[in-house]
Amino acid sequence: MRKTTPLFQVDAFTDRPFTGNPAAVCLLSEARESDWMQAVAAEMNLSETAFVQPLPGGGYELRWFTPTVEVDLCGHATLASAHVLWEEGRLQRTEAARFHTRSGVLCVEWTPEGMVMDFPALPAAAQEAPAGLNEALGAAPTWVGRSRHDLLVELASDKAVRQLVPELSRIGAIAARGVIVTARAETGPWDFVSRFFAPAVGIDEDPVTGSAHCVLGPYWAGRLGRERLTGFQASRRGGTVHIELRGERLGLGGQALTILKGALYG
């Protein structure tokens, strides 16, 4: 009989099916090779596939793969992984999901309003715009900075962010995991809007990016003078992220829905 692995597809940072950011979650019962995980992620062809394995001392190992590479930090697939553990009864909702990752230990708590992830704050430092950035975006930034992983770009308006049509080949040539584009929100219950482009790691545009909000949170907290913020990622699918600054860390809140449940053969 062929070995099977429980497999889920979860829409994260949303309370409505077929919106937010879809992630695949594999619940492993034993260690698997990195090449196998990468092959599964390519087969799933989602922005991220998460691999969750229980550890002998408690907690879980968590790894994230795009269709082309393993990454150091992913918010929506972490949210999706915690959601699956609670939904499947692997954890009680009174228990925090504790993940050991490339970015250290990440905890997720369940609340009646939604899940809250404890993530590192990744503030961006101001810098000169890289050569070719304006041409890649087709827009002129009002501010440019760099965080540990990404380039952060503020544009003049909410409308400019929503209507942006960048040249993805040029975006992919910039020396960063991806480019976060943002502006102050003009409508809705949000403080700011954003979009995230990461063709260098196999994601042309990510629908909703938790790790990008580790950069956006500190930036907009400084601009707006508040430690609690709500961001809307204005992709085609769209999704909402709630942020609470906690010094060198922050809470990222959101909801998730299981869309598909099955078994992976192989």
Gap between the Cα atoms of 222 and 60, Å rounded: 34
The active-site residue out of 48, 135, 167, 244 is: 48
Please name the helix (run of DSSP H) or strand (run of DSSP E) that holds residue 64, with its range, or none: strand 60-65
Gap between the Cα atoms of 227 and 238, Å rounded: 23
Packed helices 75-87 and 210-224: angle between N→C axes, nearest 10 degrees: 120
The DSSP letter of residue 177 is S
Cβ atoms 49, 41 nearer than 8 A: yes
Q: How far apart, in Å, are the Cα atoms of 129 and each of 89, 172, 211?
A: 48, 15, 22
> ∠ at Cα 39 (168, 12), nearest 5°?
65
Strand 48-54, strand 249-254: pairing: unpaired
128 is a catalytic site residue:
no
The span from the first CA to the last CA of the chain, in angstroms, equals 11
Gap between the Cα atoms of 234 and 206, Å rounded: 10
Q: State the catalytic residues.
A: 48
